[in-house]
Amino acid sequence: MDPEVLKSYLPRYAEAFLLTIKIGWLGIALAFVIGMLSAFVIHFRIPVLKRIAGYYVELFRNTPLLVQLFFIYFGLPKVGIVISAEACGVLGLGLLGGSYMSETFRSGLEAIPAAQKESALSLGMSRGQVFREIILPEALTISVPAIAANVIFLLKETSVFSAISLMDLMFTAKDLIGLYYDTTEALFMLVLFYTIMLLPVSILGSIAEKTVRGKMPGQ
Amino acid sequence: MGFEVLWKGNNMLRLLEGLWAALRISLISVAVSLVLGLALGILVSLKLRAVQVLSRIWLEIVRIMPQMVLLFLVYFGASRVLGLNISAETSALIVFSFWGTAEMSDLVRGSLAAIPKIQYESSYSLGFDPLQTYLYVIIPQIVRRMIPLSINLITRMIKTTSLVMMIGIVEVLKVGQQIIEANRKSSPNAAFGVYLTVFVLYFLACWPISRLSKYLEKKWEN
């Protein structure tokens, strides 16, 4: 491996890295919001919306992100909906992630024993208070390991963005291999940057999992 | 809306063939992963230090590296570093089996860890040797726990095989692209209909399998 080549590749990879994490984290934030809304709608059995949320979750959990992106980016403009590549990446990741997060939050909410709610109500808290102060914090705590797993999964999924011509890490690697044939160097940088992106999250995830273990209600 | 292009010639059939190309890769990888993963999972449970460390590293690599990166490493890297010329399809099979085996072995390890020690002790005291203990006592018990989880892994693998188009394998998305290109003049809106169809096809391939997994999980909960 040639260190000079690695050095010359660095700026391009750094730029691609920033783009990848920007879209990745925006998408994850969107996934959080969509997932939370969808889980509430399903948990509180809100008529009509509950159905829609249920269909949405099944549809997006059972299709690959790549196919979703192709449809949003290449298909939707044909019926007049044009979305920029970056927005499309965020939206695609948000929709995919939202369906996973929804399942995670929903099972978190379901896992809270009824006694928690009954006790809080009998202490004179209002329904709103019970949900905000008791149920939601507990449900989120229970969900921490699954949320961490989802975040890692979604960050890995960012690797398909090059298909909608975003200049992300994969795109950069493929481009450089095609241009200069320094395959080893290009692949090394690719692995390096994905490790920088995912290793801290993976370590934080396992720390968070250990912290919340044994702090579940009713245990 | 671009659906009409699907009924031209044998376009729909070609799309289905493309889907099959992707499904075939995932099914072969699943089969390999099930067998190797079961073996590796049992090996890890024997608590040999070296095996545990190696499998841990293996699992971490698979957990952290996107499958797309692994595909690039094998497809572009192997020819460069090892001087091997590996076809795109073989690369895909190697990567998906590498990934699946690691995930599967972790499922096996987790299920084995949940079997109480007394099961082994009782079995030994009845005169079973370790092999018999695994074959007749332990494995039948972990299968129930494992089946829903492995079915889940199968749907994940099917979804992930959509990536193989990025290393040039002609699968359903690629066929879709070709159909859209070929009919650019006559159906300018084909992209909508074709990609929506691909979306639905993937859904139809994965949804029944994940329903089955959920059903079995509920049924065998206790």
Sign of the Cα pseudo-torsion (B97, B215, A45, A126, in order) = negative
Distance from CA of B33 to the nearest CA of A (A): 20
Greater pLDDT, B92 or B152: B92
Those residues with Cβ within 8 angstroms of residue A23's Cβ, 6 or more apart along the chain or in another chain: A86, A89, A90, A93, A158, A161, A166, A168
- The stretch B189-215 carries a mean pLDDT of 92
Contact A170 B68 (CB under 8 A): yes
pLDDT of residue A2: 81
List helix spans (H) across B46-188.
49-64, 67-72, 78-81, 88-113, 117-125, 130-132, 139-160, 172-182
pLDDT of residue B20: 93
Contact A194 B192 (CB under 8 A): no
Percent of chain B with pLDDT over 70: 99
pLDDT of residue A12: 92
Position of tokens 């690369």?
Answer: B91
pLDDT of residue B68: 94
Rounded to 10°, the helix B11-45/B172-182 angle is 160
Those residues with Cβ within 8 angstroms of residue A98's Cβ, 6 or more apart along the chain or in another chain: A30, A31, A33, A34, A35, A38, A56, A60
Is the minimum CB–CB distance between A139 and chain B shorter than 8 Å?
Answer: no
Per-residue pLDDT tens over the stretch B122-148:
999 999 998 899 889 988 888 888 888
Q: Which residues of chain A have pLDDT under 70?
A: 214-219
Contact B76 A187 (CB under 8 A): yes
Q: Which of B68, B188, B195 sits opposite A71 (nearest CB)?
A: B195
Q: What is the CATH number of the domain that holds B192?
A: 1.10.3720.10
| Whole-number Å distance between alpha carbons of A105 and A153 | 16
Contact B202 A190 (CB under 8 A): no
Contact B72 A76 (CB under 8 A): no
Sign of the Cα pseudo-torsion (A182, A185, A186, A187, in order) = positive
pLDDT of residue A216: 62
Q: Give chain B's domain count.
A: 1
CATH class as words, domain A3-212: mainly alpha
Q: How many CB atoms lie within 10 A of CB B12?
A: 15
| Whole-number Å distance between alpha carbons of B6 and A26 | 36
Q: Which of A67, A76, A183 sits opposite B77 (nearest CB)?
A: A183
Domain with B54 in it = 4-219
pLDDT of residue B183: 87
**pLDDT of B150 strictly over 90:** no
Mutation site for B-interface testing, chosen from A13, A23, A66 by largest number of B Cβ within 10 Å: A66
Per-residue pLDDT tens over the stretch A154-188:
999 999 999 998 999 999 999 998 888 888 889 99
User: Could you give the ipTM of this predicted complex?
Assistant: 0.88
Task: With cut-offs at 50, 70 and 90, classify the pLDDT of residue B7.
Answer: confident
